[in-house]
Amino acid sequence: MSVARAALPTTASTDTRAWRVLGASTFAFTICFAVWMVFAILGIPLKKQLHLSDTEFGLIAAMPVLTGSLARVPLGIWTDRFGGRTVFFWTMAVTIVPIWLVAYATELWQFLVLGLFVGFAGASFSVGTPYVARWFPKSRQGFAMGIFGAGNSGAALTKFVAPVLIMAAGTWTIVPKVYSVAMLVTALVFWLVSASNPAHRSASTQGFVAQLAVLKDRRVLRYAQFYSVVFGGYVGLALWMPQYYVNQYGYGIERAAFLAACFSLPGGVLRALGGWMSDRFGAYRTTWIVMWVALACFFLLSYPVTDFVVRAKDGPLTFHIAMGPVTYTALMFVVGVAMAVGKASVFKFVSDEFAANIGAVSGVVGLAGGLAGFLLPIFFGMLVDLTGVRTTCFMLMFGATAISLIWMHFTFERPRNESPELAASAH
């Protein structure tokens, strides 16, 4: 623990490289996240081209999320040992060719295999989080990680850019080509602008096996579950929403993607707000509020389109209940804000309690969130195929959020002074 503290700058202003690292990392992560979410848009024309079911759509959209999740643990550990600048650069570099090859795929299995390689872009989160955090003092780490995490807005970037490219070129194949070039440029810019501090590599002297021992810590499992809701839910819904608008409201791909961005954009950009709130009010209080807001919204969103008849004394009364696109979009905007704040508050817990091996722990927590993001679109599709009810995706999210609230209630002692250290100490 003493080694880790010695490696941290005493103030954020003493090293101007800290802000360069934060800016370069946030930009790179935004592009990586945009690439990671690209099948949310490509999946719509591919569903028609390949005649996919809703479950198959969920699979093709979520496939990059699988490797982006599984790779987070080793990449987080390598960041602790070899430094964030090098690991971040090579993480981006290995995705450039697979992204380009997507344009030439014609079969479902080809998209699934290439999606696995494209998914490494999403693993950059567990590299950038410890890389950025170690350049800032503990009192400002929540804010710094929140700014970096705002790169989640890459999901909204894809929803703005990809439909425009498709409409302009008349084919979806232009998108992976443009994204491949963008990733190459981003990797080069990141390498030129970012910086390294060899002292940060000694933040953890533990070996690979010792670092994985964090899986035995109940706190890590608790934060992993919370993150599976706020981040996994964000990823799953960001992948699912464009086609939800298409199928539920009959919108075209451009309009559907634009409205879906009303969820993705605040869900990414406002993560910095969550970092500030966590530093100011404590991770416990912030996360608790986030879960309750999300629960209330998912309850309203879960209600399916319903027609029913009441037998009144003067004859039958017919009622029709349905949520229009305006109300739906407004509620999803609120959910996006809540998830943005929650993503930052969960990682404030991590930085408070695991400074010595934040890379390994952030990798495990990120893995849980990523795996949830991979599984949720598939579950969403299965539920629609089984029931025919499209709002079942929100029913599933309501249940997952309720579990988080119950877990928080029974595993935390309510902090008396709301300090983040006291809030995180109960386990």
Q: 410 or 113: which carries more pLDDT confidence?
A: 113
Whether the per-residue pLDDT at 283 is higher than 90: the answer is no
When mean pLDDT is compared across 5-9, 320-324, 348-352, the lowest value belongs to 5-9
pLDDT of residue 422: 41
Q: What is the mean pLDDT of the chain?
A: 84
pLDDT of residue 275: 79
pLDDT of residue 4: 41
Whether the per-residue pLDDT at 230 is higher than 90: the answer is yes
* Contact residues for 41 (Cβ-Cβ < 8 A; gap 6+): 158, 159, 162, 163, 166, 175, 242, 253, 257
Q: What percent of the chain has pLDDT over 70?
A: 88
Whether the per-residue pLDDT at 18 is higher than 90: the answer is no
pLDDT of residue 315: 81
Helix axis angle for 232-249 and 392-411, nearest 10°, is 160
* Listed ranges 15-19, 76-80, 136-140, 402-406; the one with the highest mean pLDDT: 402-406
Burial of residue 198 (number of CB atoms within 10 Å: 0-12, 13-18, 19+): exposed
Give the pLDDT band (50/70/90) at residue 207: low
pLDDT of residue 129: 83
Average pLDDT over residues 94-105: 95
pLDDT of residue 5: 40
pLDDT of residue 7: 41
Task: Identify which of 122, 97, 112 has the alpha carbon closest to the alpha carbon of residue 61.
Answer: 112
Q: What percent of the chain has pLDDT over 90?
A: 41
- Residue 188 has a CB neighbour count (10 Å cut-off) of 13
Whether the per-residue pLDDT at 175 is higher than 80: the answer is yes
Give the pLDDT band (50/70/90) at residue 418: very low
Domains parsed from the chain with CATH numbers: 2-425 (1.20.1250.20)
pTM, rounded to two decimals: 0.76
Give the pLDDT band (50/70/90) at residue 200: low
Average pLDDT over residues 376-400: 93
Task: Give 306's strand partners.
Answer: 321
Give the pLDDT band (50/70/90) at residue 284: confident
User: Is the distance from CB of 277 to CB of 100 less than 8 angstroms?
Assistant: no
Average pLDDT over residues 197-211: 59
Give the pLDDT band (50/70/90) at residue 414: low
Task: Identify which of 123, 405, 411, 364 has the alpha carbon closest to the alpha carbon of residue 224.
Answer: 364
pLDDT of residue 201: 62
- Exposure string of 140-156, with b = 16+ CB inside 10 Å and e = fewer, is bbbbbbbbbbbbbbbbb
Average pLDDT over residues 268-279: 81
Whether the per-residue pLDDT at 165 is higher than 50: the answer is yes
Residue type, 36: W
**pLDDT tens for each residue of 34-79:** 999 899 899 889 988 999 888 898 899 889 988 888 887 788 778 8
What are the distances in angstroms from CA 371 to CA 145, 229, 392?
Answer: 21, 11, 20
Tokens of 323: 């949520």
Whether the per-residue pLDDT at 211 is higher than 60: the answer is no
Task: Identify which of 262, 246, 266, 400 has the alpha carbon closest to the alpha carbon of residue 343.
Answer: 266
